[in-house]
Amino acid sequence: MKLWDKGFSTDKKIDHFTVGNDRELDLVLAKYDVIASTAHAKMLGKVGLISQEEAKDLVKALGDIGKDIEKGNFTIENDFEDMHSKIEFILTEKLGDTGKKIHSARSRNDQVLVAMQLYLKEELTEIREQVKTLFDLFMKLAEKHQNVLLPGYTHLQIAMPSSFGLWFSAYAESLIDDLYFVQAAHKIADQNPLGSAAGYGSSFPIDRTFTTTEMGFETLKYNVVAAQMGRGKVEKAAAFGISSVAATLSKMAMDICLYMSQNFDFISFPNELTTGSSIMPHKKNPDVFELIRAKCNRIQAVPNQLTLITNNLPSGYHRDLQLVKEVIVPALQDMQACLELMTFSLKEIKVNPKILDDPKYDYLFSVDTLNELVKSGMPFRDAYKTMGKAIENGNFKPKKDIEHTHEGSLGNLCLEQIKEKMEQALSL
């Protein structure tokens, strides 16, 4: 069954190619098609395109379908092109001609748009909550380990003293920047496109403000052509949001993989969070973090994938747009899994409190020792040369009782201010 069926069949090869994996993806989106169809049915009854009794029957039948979806009992057999045709078939089977009336004043195009935007709103909200949970964990770890020193690196060379407090809170504050992107994507998705039909509106006297309120959208996508042009663009906005989060998680995962190495030995995890080797019995591999790194790197490619699918398309609908679903849906699922596993694993992290006891880290303190010469009145350039000669001649004696007091330094992490910044970001 196809919504565009005119009584003739399509070649099976064409059918298979054009449908693709829509049926599998639509099992994820079917819940949102039911929500939108329910609002649409109520609106049809309100404006008199169907009777109030027909509207009630449609709403009840859609509610039953929604329950089946929630229980995992909803399927889309090969006889159906997508979720829309299967849902309309069920409605027609239950309600006869009333079921056939559900498609009045809408197109499959705006059905897809509204289902996707409802889905994106919910998924981005969930990701926002997961980001906040990870942020809270980072801040808790920063407070707990703020006095444990950690080598800072530039160019993968020993640089200056850092601390676990500085490291954890750095990733916490980075997540705030990521959340700005996620919030912006949510704002773009929070515009109701239903009623734009195939992209040029409808001659029926529909009430788009009603469906906007009914589905919980903040506002309308008023211009019907703009609504259709949003397909692909909304998904790309979401992709930019999660790619920003993914960049932070990927970098954190890389740090963890390095720091777990015996060459660093900065951190460790319980055995149950690591994996072994098939031939080397001593191995405790960071497979979870390596996979988080790889999955998050793949997520960062998603905005470009969507750009290449949608770029240079003229206004109006084109079948190219079908492919955005198979890019964005798995990416959102991967993003949530990575956030969940990063949070789950970091709860068990163990830090090494004696890292800087190793004399190879003495050079971390060269800048602080140099600064003492400057404080005593020596010009910085002269102090730099003096310190350089001492290091070269093997006469360097580090000053380890360092004192960093400015905002954001290891002695003044500004954790409360970072927490306040996160609360402000969440309120946008």
Residue 89 has a pLDDT of 96
- Predicted TM-score (pTM) of the model is 0.92
Pairing of strands 350-351, 267-268: antiparallel
d(CA 378, CA 146): 32
182 CB neighbour count, 10 Å cutoff: 24
Q: What is the mean pLDDT of the chain?
A: 93
- Whether 166 and 413 have beta carbons less than 8 Å apart is answered as yes
User: What does the alpha-carbon distance between residue 167 and residue 266 come to, in Å, rounded to a whole number?
Assistant: 12
Task: Break the chain into its structural domains and give their ranges.
Answer: 12-101, 108-148+162-355, 359-427
Q: What is the pLDDT of residue 4?
A: 42
> Kind of pairing, strands 219-220 and 191-192?
parallel
**Residue 147 DSSP SS3:** coil
Give the bridge partners for 56, in sequence order. Answer: none
CATH class of 12-101: mainly alpha
The answer to whether 301 and 327 have CB atoms below 8 angstroms apart is no
The pLDDT assigned to 68 comes to: 97
pLDDT digits (tens, 9 = 90+) for 380-391: 999 999 999 999
Give the residues of the chain that fall short of pLDDT 70.
1-20, 276-279, 281, 283
Tens of pLDDT, residues 7-30: 545 555 555 444 457 788 999 999
In this structure, whether the domain defined by 108-148+162-355 belongs to CATH 1.20.200.10 is answered with: yes
